[in-house]
A and B are shown apart, each in its own frame.
Chain A
């Protein structure tokens, strides 16, 4: 991404630069024209975001302060924070914490699986890398829903996983409809989102730095801890956010693999809007979820996310 920006600068900066040295006014004018041209090109995207993203967001925000009436509708009069207060109730709080907890576990597991793999990938030849990256992408070729149903079959009480554990004498396993099934499904679904940024950031590290650290008396572990890990941190943070955020709000996977016992945030919000018809609560919960995500994103940009 940064490469593109640099190229652009070169093309733009090429000719006016020489003129500008003689005439600073010309430079300012050229800059202005340039930024105006940029604005015009970005306008469609801005408009789209405004109409289909910002506006609905405002509506959700407004609704989160409204009141549910007796008929399942929403009264926009009488602003209050009742919906937010409801989030403190044990049932909602439990769902919130359970979702957080599962999202954290999913993120950590993804990181544990993805890091060695990404390192391996980044240290292969170009051909091997490309082939393996294609393998990472292949799951995206089929529908997310279908893949989740596939896990339902795999983890089911008569599914292959259970049959295998039974065959080797560990007995029947009952994974489906447990939090474990949700974690398995989430890790499976979001692993590529961890691998890709990690790979991108490790691939950019000069591997001679690792040799230099070994030469300077670092053990293999210290080499990782002091050189590889800090240098790959932008990838770790980007990957973690890309996994954590959708895991926190996940709806499809918990619905299909989690069963009725493990209600998570995504399902709860949907229930509030569609079944309970309590739009204010659904809206307020959406907003809380969004602010958590925003916080995570800010952390990312604070930690040198610019480099990605």
Chain B
């Protein structure tokens, strides 16, 4: 799959199978004064999928989520939730609920009252509120904490209560704004798995905002990458990792080496030092591109000992970093450095600093991205 292929997913609703998207965004723009926070994006989020909006801070992902929630209103464009136009509806009139970044639990209510708040506002009768709230708390394993105050809970527990408080309303779409950001690493990984299995169990569409690419890769069915208010690429984690739409995406997702060059023909890129690499590219001839080579896709060999069928560049080992499960070599080329990651296997040949080596890879293992 090539870069431009993945970009075709950017095309607006209706979604590929023709059904109504859970969230349909068409030409949505949000301006705050002179600042364009979100710049005419199109996006269809399918029913029942776990969708991540990923990008660095200030990229417009949170604004996009807030517009779906109704906490901000788009300056232009149309927004639908299961086909219903919601662009100007206030948040309390939308079939969506949000798990806020710092949970935003009501400090003057206990856990059960927090969870029951949405039902109370919808005038559900009292016994039903208690029953459903307790059920929701059980679902997130917080049943024993019902009478606690929020400030008596740990971060992870507050997180679960916030989740229960949103889910108890049986929203059609659940919005999560960096829900795991405040948790420590171990808890975060635990919650990732839990969120994922919860989503599968309930079948609710989850839209999830994060700046953590690893989190997005692990949890989501599809990822939308945003930068400066634009949606750069939408695709499955695999599509985005293997076939990044452009240089920013390649660099943002995972680690990569970007070798700058010019497209010479449909299967050759000429690098800055004049070396020619054989690649597969659909970028126009003559355009400036970067060849993205992931550190784990490259191998090291003794100089002039590269097997047939592999592209290679010569270099010198500059540093060696031992990580336990792998060794990362920084290789000095004539005009730049490359990182190469070698899994730590008993058979692996170890190199040391100043060794003259060749870096090699399979032509289909690199992606050509537009500058």
A: residues with CB less than 8 A from B are 206, 208-209, 211-220, 222, 226-227, 230-231
Contacts and interface: CB of A to CB of B under 8 A. Distances in A.
A211 B92 contact: no
B104 A231 contact: no
A217 B106 contact: no
30 contacts: A206-B104, A208-B101, A208-B102, A209-B104, A209-B107, A211-B91, A211-B100, A211-B104, A212-B106, A213-B117, A213-B121, A214-B90, A214-B91, A214-B92, A215-B69, A215-B70, A215-B71, A215-B96, A215-B98, A216-B117, A216-B165, A216-B166, A216-B169, A217-B92, A217-B121, A217-B122, A217-B169, A222-B121, A226-B121, A227-B106
B71 A217 contact: no
Given A211-B71, A230-B108, A218 B92 contact: yes
Interface string B44-80: 0000000000000000000000000111000000000
Interface residues of B, number: 23
Contacts of B69: 215
B262 interface: no
B118 interface: yes
Contacts of A216: 92, 97, 117-118, 121, 165-166, 169
Given A212-B98, A216-B118, 5 more contacts: A206-B102, A211-B71, A213-B117, A214-B71, A217-B118
Contacts of A214: 70-71, 90-92
B110 to A, nearest CB: 13
B100 A208 contact: yes
Contacts of B92: 214-219
A230 B98 CA distance: 22
A231 B169 CA distance: 24
B10 to A, nearest CB: 28
Contacts of B90: 214, 220
A211 B118 CA distance: 12
A159 to B, nearest CB: 44
Nearest to A209: B104
Nearest to B116: A216
A231 B100 CA distance: 19
A195 B118 CA distance: 32
Nearest to A206: B104
Contacts of A212: 98, 100, 104, 106
Contacts of A211: 71, 91, 100, 104
Interface string B141-173: 000000000000000000000000110010000
B123 to A, nearest CB: 9
A257 to B, nearest CB: 40
Contacts of B117: 213, 216, 218, 226
Contacts of B165: 216
A220 B70 CA distance: 13
Nearest to A231: B108
A230 B97 CA distance: 23
B91 A215 contact: yes
Contacts of A208: 100-102, 104
Contacts of B106: 209, 212-213, 227
Q: Pick the 4 closest A-B CB pairs, nearest first.
A: A216-B118, A212-B104, A217-B121, A214-B91
Contacts of A209: 104, 106-107
A215 B108 CA distance: 18
B163 to A, nearest CB: 13
Nearest to B93: A217
Contacts of A220: 90
A222 B122 CA distance: 11
A218 B100 contact: no
Given A213-B117, A214-B71, A217-B121, A231 B98 contact: no
A220 B93 CA distance: 12
B194 to A, nearest CB: 22
A220 B117 CA distance: 14
